[in-house]
Amino acid sequence: MSASNPTVIVTATVPAKLNLGLAIVGRRDDGFHDLCSVMQTITLCDHLRIEATPRPDSRPIVTLLGVAARNGDVAIDDPGIGASDNLAVRAVTTVLAALGSGGDFGIGLEKGIPAASGMGGASADAAAAILTTEQATSVSLGDDDRGRIAAGLGSDVPFFLKGGTALVTGRGERVDPLPAIVPTSFVVVFPRLLVPIPRKTARLFGALTPDDLNGGEDVRCQVSRIMNGEPIDPALLGNGFSRALLGIAPELGDIRRSMDKVCGQPVVLSGAGPTHYVVEPDRERAEWDVAQLQVAFGDQAMVVRCDPWAGPPEITLGFRRPTS
Ligand code: C5P
């Protein structure tokens, strides 16, 4: 290693998402499903760090330096995914191959977003890994290649490149940005003690019946409200996975009933779960709800108040130190 190869440290604060309504429209010939959803990034975050020593003339070596729980409170293992298949590692490897860049790239993750929670943590990390790798190599992929790589990594990844509020359709790769929603709090509950469901998303898609499908009319009504600057209507926040998920994990019924009793607002499923949330426009009331639910659930669940997060991951190009 020579002093001309400095290490670049790039860090990213990576927001989770909630689905503000999720319709599953139908099964496609390629085995995926067409979706119609409003996705919203929120202020529950992972932190990703890339330590890069680019060397244009050598092969890329991508290493997972570590995955840590940020507050000792979050699940960091997705039961369906081994460490070698970490989506952020795959993202960095894919970007380096597309750019033809080489060198040593170490990735560290601090998880604030529970894994396999329906809040898109792994997809968010993958999107952030794409953006930070471009920063670390000082080469831009361009919108088309970036979007193609994101969609190849997972259906939710393209949304996280831009974040904010967006209508997401197709299998997840069509992302139409929307204006920011009227500010509101989300009371977010992740049932921590639930037995993890291996390959949860694929399994839930497989458990859908024709009654779980719809054309996304409610989602499109919500989109009209957002475009008109009206507040989110909780009555339009249905999720096509709700019935199938309750069939696989009936104990979620108790969590939903407790949330309903405390918050007095519709209880909504995010993604393929098991995270549920309520929309509470009044911040003080949301804080009160969180305190009540923390007492009610104890170790059973992580309960947090979140705000909407306006855009993509926040990226900081750190210091460069010469290596010897
Ligand atoms: O793309 P992702 O890795 O998130 O998808 C995991 C699995 O979920 C897919 O293999 C597919 O079985 C299912 N899926 C689907 N329709 C989508 C997204 C995912 O059927 N729009």
Q: How far apart are CA 12 and CA 315, in angstroms?
A: 4
Q: Is 17 a catalytic residue?
A: yes
User: What per-residue confidence (pLDDT) applies to 103?
Assistant: 93
User: What per-residue confidence (pLDDT) applies to 80?
Assistant: 42
Per-residue pLDDT band at 316 (split at 50, 70, 90): very high
Q: How far apart are CA 83 and CA 66, in angstroms?
A: 10
The H-or-E segment that residue 151 falls in is helix 143-153
Are the C-beta atoms of 166 and 172 separated by less than 8 Å?
no
User: DSSP class of residue 175?
Assistant: E
User: What per-residue confidence (pLDDT) applies to 56?
Assistant: 78
Interval 286-293 mean pLDDT: 98
Q: Is the peptide bond before 79 cis (omega within 30 degrees of 0)?
A: no
> Which residue's alpha carbon is nearest to atom 7 within ligand 1?
202
Q: How far apart are CA 90 and CA 112, in angstroms?
A: 20
Our answer on whether the CB atom of 172 is closer than 6 Å to any ligand 1 atom is yes
How many Cα atoms are found within 13 Å in the side-chain-facing hemisphere of 153?
33
pTM (2 d.p.): 0.94
Please tell me the distance between residue 155's alpha carbon and the centre of ligand 1 in angstroms: 6
- The model's pLDDT over 62-86, given as tens digits with 9 standing for 90+, comes to 999 888 887 665 555 554 444 557 9
Please, where are the H alpha helices in 163-216? 200-206
- The model's pLDDT over 7-60, given as tens digits with 9 standing for 90+, comes to 999 999 999 999 999 999 999 999 999 999 999 999 999 999 999 998 878 999
Residue from 209, 212, 184, 210 nearest 269 by CA:
212
Our answer on whether the CB atom of 155 is closer than 6 Å to any ligand 1 atom is yes
Our answer on whether the CB atom of 227 is closer than 6 Å to any ligand 1 atom is no
The SS3 call for residue 43 is strand
User: What per-residue confidence (pLDDT) applies to 85?
Assistant: 78
Q: How far apart are CA 145 and CA 212, in angstroms?
A: 34
Q: Which of 32, 81, 239, 241 has the most ligand 1 atoms within 8 A of CB, as the residue to mutate? A: 32
Please tell me the distance between residue 116's alpha carbon and the centre of ligand 1 in angstroms: 13
Q: How many CB atoms lie within 10 A of CB 287?
A: 14
Q: How many CB atoms lie within 10 A of CB 222?
A: 25
Please tell me the distance between residue 208's alpha carbon and the centre of ligand 1 in angstroms: 13
**pLDDT above 90 (res 263):** yes
Interval 297-302 mean pLDDT: 94
Q: How far apart are CA 156 and CA 150, in angstroms?
A: 8
Q: How many residues does the chain have?
A: 324
- The model's pLDDT over 92-148, given as tens digits with 9 standing for 90+, comes to 999 999 999 999 999 999 999 999 999 999 999 999 999 999 999 999 999 999 999
Q: Is 77 a catalytic residue?
A: no
